[in-house]
Structure 1
Amino acid sequence: MVPHNDPTLLFTNAGMNQFKDVFLGLDKRNYSRATTAQRCVRAGGKHNDLENVGYTARHHTFFEMLGNFSFGDYFKQDAIKYAWELLTGENWFALPKEKLWVTVYETDDEAFDIWANEVGVPRERIIRIGDNKGAPFASDNFWQMGDTGPCGPCTEIFFDHGDHIWGGPPGSPEEDGDRYIEIWNIVFMQFNRQADGTMEPLPKPSVDTGMGLERIAAVLQHVN
């Protein structure tokens, strides 16, 4: 889909594109929360991992991305707790808690503390990921829609399929294996990145998440 009002993009490359002006404070909707289901094609470029298709069990040419958004409503604490409730609650997905690992941006102490002290994830299963792509804020745990625009640190949730599958936890030398699979990425939209690289705080901190439908289906059906 070609964005009709954003000359910085050739194609819609994220579910939040339609809400960009809302995050920036330039547009206001009559709702403060939203959910989406987006059909996606890996076509190369930022965040698309096209080169991994055919080499891993988790990268598909076509997939569906489930999203939930908060526009200045709830933020880190509630976003993390809502995600944990959906994944582990007996009335919802009821995933075993001991199978879940999480990552946070290296300097995001707030997210780390929420996971450790409020949700109760063991600290050894909370991994800090720093800048690992050769530039400041270039990290698997710092999401950016492009060279400019809304961005922020993120926390990702991984499911451990078991030691019968090769692979290591995120951040380890064996992280590219299929044992530990990212199932949910929760982005804390806090900044508006400028062309000179400076990070201006957004008017209202917001939330943008993405969960892979096929990945969570595989987890719930006990297949991989």
Structure 2
Amino acid sequence: MTGDEIRKKFLQYFEDRGHTVVPSCSLVPKNDPTLMFTNAGMVQFKDVFLGEEKRNYNRAVSVQKCVRAGGKHNDLEMVGRTARHHTFFEMLGNFSFGDYFKKEAIQFAWEFLTDVIGLPRDRLYISVFEDDDEAFNLWVDEVKMPRERIYKMGEKDNFWAMGPTGPCGPCSEIFIDQGKTVGCGQPSCEVGCDCDRFLEIWNLVFMQYDRDESGKLTPLPNPCIDTGMGLERLAAVVQGRTTNYDTDLMMSIITEAARIIGKEYGKQDEVNVSLRVLTDHARAS
């Protein structure tokens, strides 16, 4: 399955379920002095989440072009040196503005990954916020996820906030086990390990609180859903690649760059890193 086919399947799946397909917004956000570049799918919907803007739909789906080259989400120094970090990437996302919530978001994500994309159920793992018993139970009851494959994590990993104050909430992440040969080899390796064995592919954010300056959390009157999944990561998993750079989304650029500089990709680490950096920056430019 090509990267383009994944894009189309994602948009079609959610459009068939009442979501409005919204085009990717500009890489330079409009009317948002807090950001230099659009770094997530939710950026163009920020005012909707804050209740400051209304749209003529309450379900949306997009494939957002993103750049992360500084600030909170800065992957610049990791580009080319890891299998999964980029300055430019495409984020698949579905959103609910006061319409559906945790149950439907979990069901949609599971059905898309397993039935549409065809990922093996027995290789998928879940993380939830440690205090979010509702999400834990939904994974168990709605998709029959074994309890031992659901990990409860702390606020650092599984609680999302737009900023120090404002909308926030717990999140639930979906991981795929890429096998021991991809991992660090440590006996303690599990979901949450920094190696690539358990690869995060989708983050479901349950925006259900408003945090004030004192840190108090007040339930939002209309909870929202904000999800994000990297197209490049999913393509690597589907195409059986251990690095995003070896997918059809990038290999044509790598091949041409290698031809131009007269080097062969895949032989030397130093050359591989250089070609990956060239490819990433070419996509971002």
**TM-score (norm. length: structure 1):** 0.87
- Could you say which residue in structure 1 is the equivalent of 2:48? 22
Distance in 1, matches of 2:81 and 2:190, equals 18
Q: Structure 2 counterpart of 1:39, which letter?
A: K
Which structure shows the higher strand fraction? 1
| Among 194, 199, 207, the residue aligned to 1:181 | 199
Aligned residues: 212
> Which structure 1 segments of 5+ residues have no match?
132-138
C-alpha distance in structure 2 between counterparts of 1:43 and 1:27, whole Å: 28
Root-mean-square deviation over aligned CA pairs = 1.8
Partner residue of 1:77? 103
How far does residue 25 in structure 1 lie from its aligned partner after superposition?
2.4
CA distance in 2, matches of 1:41, 1:181: 21
Farther-moved stretch of structure 1 (109-118 vs 162-171): 162-171
Letter of the structure 2 residue corresponding to residue 37 of structure 1: V
Q: What per-residue deviation string (whole Å, max 9, x for no partner) do you get for residues 8-63 of structure 1?
A: 44443332122222222232211011111111222122234444333321112221
User: Highest Rg: 1 or 2?
Assistant: 2
Asked if the contact 1:150/1:192 (under 8 Å) is kept, the reply is yes
Larger mean CA deviation between 202-211 and 38-47 belongs to 38-47
The one of 214, 237, 244 aligned to 1:196: 214
What is the aligned-residue identity percentage?
Answer: 65
The worse-fitting range, judged by mean Cα deviation, of 40-49 and 6-15 is 6-15
Give the secondary-structure state (helix, strand or coil) at the position aligned to 2:61.
strand
1:95 aligns with 2:113: no
Task: Specify which structure has the higher proportion of helix.
Answer: 2
**1:102–1:126: 8 Å Cα contact kept in structure 2?**
yes
- For the 8 Å contact 2:168–2:211, the answer to whether it is kept is yes
Query: Which shifted more, 148-157 or 8-17?
Result: 8-17
Counterpart residue type for residue 63 of structure 1: F
Q: Secondary structure at the match of 2:163?
A: coil
- The one-letter code sitting in structure 2 at the alignment partner of 1:218 is A
Between 140-149 and 63-72, the greater mean CA deviation after superposition:
140-149
Q: Which runs of 4+ in 1 moved over 6 A?
A: none
Counterpart AA for 2:194: D
